[in-house]
Amino acid sequence: MSKEKTKQLHKNVAPYAKSDLKKSVIQLINTVPPIFILWFLAYQSLSVSIWLTIGISILTAGFVVRTFIIFHDCTHGSFFKNKKANDIVGTITGIITLFPYEKWKREHAIHHATSSNLDKRGVGDIWVMTVEEYVEASKWERFKYRCYRNPFVMFGLGPLYLVLITGRINRKDARKKERNNTYLTNVVLVALYVFMIWLVGWQAFLIVQGSIMFVAAALGIWLFYIQHTFEDSYFEEESEWDYVKAAVEGSSYYKLPKVLQWATGNIGFHHVHHLAPRVPNYNLEVAHESTPPLQMATTINIKTSLESLRYKLYDPAHKRFITFKEVKSAVKRATPNIDLKELKPKRTSFESK
């Protein structure tokens, strides 16, 4: 994409990169209070049926995901114009969703700056190996990667690891402000959870809160996974990497039914978000609809997103994800000179659309 087209694309999206206080407040009101109301109903329903409790908990998890999107917007400074307001609301919604605000803010900023860059993977990303890396890896490393990419591990154990371990500890290079925010989040969570256990009992608390947070975290991982893992997703080495192409070609447009689009805070318009992180979630759809080039992004739906679970390794030679089955013969040869010419390229470049 030429510099002129890139500049024009940013110019077209710029009007939507502004928060609206009224919309932000309304979104807070229709998102956060329902969590507490539904939590109470889920607890009360335990006397009727545990399955009713699970059903209400799943519904509540949808509001937790929507709360996370508010938290996410605050980390980008896009939910309010005022930085302090973003920090306060971000910290509170981070406590609700179990994520330390400053830690996640930093890691997510790195993700945006390096998304789809093969030379800068590792922070805020889903673990992706290239075909050559996989072939050259030890059996133990391959085993770990296959376990990591297994859906039962990623969406079953992943949520527990995310909220119980990585969300509770600081990075080694974290600054004082980031460390203190993580400590604050953890202390408040411990105090709040101890109080709730005292109030309703550990079993009821585990059933209700455990169900809600597990489902919400699993949905969050799924959204993040599918928005960057589709067959012709864009990945390039540092020398060839382009921010705009990474946004439009390396992030998908996840077209969801309206009710799910609402619950996920429009994050399905992920290509718009990566192009312009300062666009608040309630402006993402209109930015997409008003900017024709953005409508050329890869569109996936629920059916095609499920098919993407097959994709495990990225093939830089043909610019697409492939399955373990497709690379099996190359693994047997165990040589860095991989011949994958039989893999038919299916990528359509952004420039040609």
> How many angstroms separate the first and last alpha carbons of the chain?
11
CA dihedral 163→168→174→175, nearest 10 degrees, is 120
Q: What is the pLDDT of residues 100-141, one digit of tens each?
A: 999 999 999 999 999 999 999 888 889 999 999 998 999 999
How many residues are given for the chain? 353
CA gap 221, 340 in Å, rounded? 30
CA gap 100, 205 in Å, rounded? 22
Q: What is the mean pLDDT of the chain?
A: 90
Instruction: For the full predicted model, state whether its pTM sits above 0.75.
Output: yes
Residues 6+ apart with CB under 8 A from 102: 177, 178, 181, 182
Q: What is the pLDDT of residues 194-224, one digit of tens each?
A: 999 999 999 999 999 999 999 999 999 999 9
Sign of CA dihedral 126, 110, 302, 343: negative
